[in-house]
Structure formats: C-alpha cells, structure tokens
Structure 1
Amino acid sequence: MLTRTRDFTAQKRPRRVRSRAISALPPLVVSSLEPHEVDLAYSTLVCPTCRTWVPINTPHSSRPKLVPHHTKKAGTDDPVRCPGSYRLVTVDLSVDQWFQRLEEGLTQTAGRRSTRVIRKPKAGSTPAVMQIVGGTVDDKTARKLDEAHVRGCSTCSIRDDKGNMLRAADLASRCTDGRRLAQLAAHTKRLAPARRKAQMDREDFNDRRAWGLRLLHEQQWQNVSEAVADADLRRVRDTLAALIQMLNPRKADAPQLTAWERADLMSAITLLATQEEQLTR
C-alpha cells in the first residue's frame, strides 16, 4: 500500500481557497486596523496574530476571511500554521475611504512636532573689566588704569574743599572696582621682572632659531649649488646652440628669416652669451 509522504516545507500562500473552515477568533474589522496595515487595493492586510501580510479570500463576498498562512516565510522548514488562518474579515471600508484615511495619517505624521525638549543653556555672570584684562595688561597699563579710576571716582580719592584731588584713598576705603584695579596694579608690578625676563628669553630663542634656520639653509644650498649651476649652464648652452642653428641653418632649402626675426635671434643670442659668461666665472 502506497503511503503519502508528508511535506514539511511551507508552500506559497494561496489567494483564494474553497475551505469552509472558520477560525474561532472574532471577526476582524478593517476599520479598526491602522491604515498602513491594510491594502484594499490588493486585498491584503497584516494579521494581528503573526504580524505578517495575508491575502483576503474573496473580499467582495458575503463572508470574506483570511487565507491559511504560516508564521514564517514560504519555503522554510517545519512550518507552523497561524491561529489567524480562516479568520472572518468585515470589510466596512471602500478603497477610496481607506486611501483617504491613509493620506490623512501620512499628513498628520509629517506635520507632527518633536516632543524633545531643548533647554537653553544658563548664562553665567559677566566678569568685570578688570577680570577680563587681568591676564593681558602689563604693569604700566595697570598703573594707568588705576590712576584714571582714582581721578574719576570720588570714593577712591581724597579731595579738598574745592574738589582738587590730594591723594588716593586707602585700599580698604575704595570701591569694588578701585580695589580690583589697585590689586591688579600691585600684582602686575610684582610680576613685571619675571614677565620681562620671560619675554627676553622668548625673543632670544626666536633669534637663535632663525639664525640656525639660516645656517641650515646655507648648508643645504652648498650641497646642491654645484649641481644646480651645472644644470643652468647646460640649459643656457643648449638654448644658445639651438638659436645659432636657427640663425645659420645647415640645409640650403631652409626658410629664410626676415630682418625682424634675425634681429630678435641676435638679441636672444647676446643675452644667452652674457648669462653663459656669468655662470662660467
């Protein structure tokens, strides 16, 4: 007796079946699905059970249902049938209504604003002028800034009855800017010798570096100067020989030069002869 071998490979999903089997799951309403999970133009939808695209059997009949399908792609081994096979489908939308819902969903998605909150950075306090110029001014500039502030500030200066300034007030009696300027002047005065020494060291280093680069350039030029002079001399002699040959052609039927062309050649030959004499010295 012949026995039929069982095929364990998932077959291609049919688009139309004649089985009367009906799934125990409740009917699937098309309007309850997302517009992008339905394609009424090709009568397919995404099965809610296995999340795969499945054709609808006879969508225009009285009892449309999903065709039997597997949870994996066609051609895979050990196929497992999805429980959503033969599930009834209620098509309560037309193709135009479904397409309109799809367009509205795409418009809302494209126009949706991002919910990400971008917080503004907190602005720090602005430093005072003395704090900004503290590391860039020298002792003379700091002293002049302090003197100018004392002359213009009534708190930092002691004046007579007529308003003439007698002297600067003590550090404890000055205003906030006056104390900062006085401290800046004292600080720069204390660091002035070290700053000048560092500046002189940098200038000395730059001078020695430039002198060393000049010596290196001269040494490198001495190594190649003879080869360069020989190449220049060969180039001048080759050009001079070519011009002399143009001036006195060897062939009798060669084109004759005009008076202007001969004068130009003589000027070029004279210039090249002078260059050759200078190179051979």
Structure 2
Amino acid sequence: MTITSAMPRARKRPTQTRTKRVSSLPAIRLSQLPPSHIDLRDPLHAVLVCEDCKTLVPITGMGDKVQKLVPHHTGKAGEADAIRCRSSNRRIEFDMTIPEWCQALADAVKEASSRQATAVLPKAFSPQTDRTLRARAERTSAGRVADWNAVLPQVADADKNRQEVPAGDAPTEGPAVPLTTLHPKRPER
C-alpha cells in the first residue's frame, strides 16, 4: 500500500472516545463473524477483530443506544505511520446474546478439536530396521574392537593391491610416469 499526501492521517485523540460520528459502512452483525473473533466475556469491555485491518478493537458505547468500533489505526504502533482504519466508528449490531455467543464459541471449539488428531502414533519399524537398532544397542566397545581386528587383514590386502603397478606396456604418448618418489634437494647457500 503506497502512502500519498491525500491519505487521511489520524490525529491525536483523547483517551475516551466521545465522537458522534458513525462510519458510512454497513453495520457489523455479530452473528456473521466467527465466534473466535468476538470477546464478550466482559460485556463492558467487549472486543472484536476488525474486518479490514485484522486487529483486536474495543467496542465503545456499550451503555448507549449505538455501539461502534473505537477509532483505530491500520499500522503497528511506533513502526508505521498513523493511518486511520476505514472501519473506525463502524456500528455494531448485537443480534445475538452473550449466552448464544458462548454456545457458538463452545461449538466452534468442539468442531475444531474434532478435526485434530488426539494421539500421534509412532510409525512401526520394519523388521530389518528393528534388527539393526537392536544390534547397535547390544554392541559394546570390546565387540567393536573385535570386529575391527577381524577386518584388518582384508584392509591390508586392499592397500597392498593399490600399491602394485599394473602389468602391460607403458603409455605411448607423453612422458614416462616415475615409479619412485622424487625428493628435491634445496640449493645450498
């Protein structure tokens, strides 16, 4: 969202909202919102999630005829410019009672919990994996040394075979490959 000079900026307001202004947007009906976006546990300090900026906003005028959202900003406090949300001062229609809201919230929680697995079952091991894990658990340091000593003759044979020069003619192109290690000497000073 680009910010231009024509965008409305929120001015510093008193702590208690006393404006008679009402937003021209249609009123928010509580029955159309998800029950988890409404908090009516304390009716005098009711809160709901603003549809436009997705922030928790208090409802003002709970003792009056008209209930509406408190004027609020779209950006994060202290980070973004203070731009008034378009749902500020939007009317709220209480078309459900507090017990109805509590029942709707309980039903939503039950529905959400039924979608989640209650217990995570571990995947069963294959027989070969099970044998390998048991063998690792049963091995001791003495067993590892014995295994290494059993393999040492085969390792020595492999090293001996690597050092042998293959039988056959020398390469036809290029210089001869030296078979002895060269040790260059430093010049004397």
TM-score of the aligned structures, taking structure 2 as reference length: 0.51
Measured after TM superposition, the shift of residue 12 of structure 1 is 8.7
Say which structure is richer in helix. Answer: 1
Structure 2 partner of 1:228: none
Structure 1 partner of 2:84: 81
2:58 match: secondary structure: strand
Structure 1 partner of 2:167: none
Structure 1 partner of 2:26: 26
- Cα 1:38–1:111 change in 2 (3 A) is same
Contact 1:71 1:80 in 2 (8 A): yes
Q: Is 1:70 matched up with 2:61? A: no
Which structure has more relative contact order (CA 8 Å, sep 6+)? It is 2
- Cα 1:94–1:12 change in 2 (3 A) is farther
Measured after TM superposition, the shift of residue 9 of structure 1 is 8.8
> How many corresponding residue pairs?
111
TM-score of the aligned structures, taking structure 1 as reference length: 0.35
Matched-pair identity in %: 33
Q: Is 1:96 matched up with 2:115? A: no
Query: 1:1-281, aligned counterparts within 5 Å?
Result: 14=15, 16-41=16-41, 42-112=45-115, 209=153
Flag structure 2 segments of 5+ consecutive residues without an equivalent.
1-8, 118-149, 157-189
Contact 2:58 2:70 in 1 (8 A): yes
- CA separation in 2, counterparts of 1:52 and 1:59? 20
Measured after TM superposition, the shift of residue 62 of structure 1 is 1.3
* Deviation by residue 1:114-145 (Cα, 9 ceiling, x = unmatched): 8xxxxxxxxxxxxxxxxxxxxxxxxxxxxxxx
- CA separation in 2, counterparts of 1:52 and 1:108? 24
- Cα 1:107–1:101 change in 2 (3 A) is same
1:36 match: secondary structure: helix
Larger Rg: 1
Contact 1:67 1:86 in 2 (8 A): yes
Measured after TM superposition, the shift of residue 84 of structure 1 is 0.3
Which letter maps to 1:20? K
RMSD of aligned C-alpha atoms? 3.0
2:85 match: secondary structure: coil
- Cα 1:13–1:40 change in 2 (3 A) is farther
* Deviation by residue 1:33-63 (Cα, 9 ceiling, x = unmatched): 0001011124010111111111101224211
2:48 match: secondary structure: strand
Flag structure 1 segments of 5+ consecutive residues without an equivalent.
1-7, 115-205, 213-281
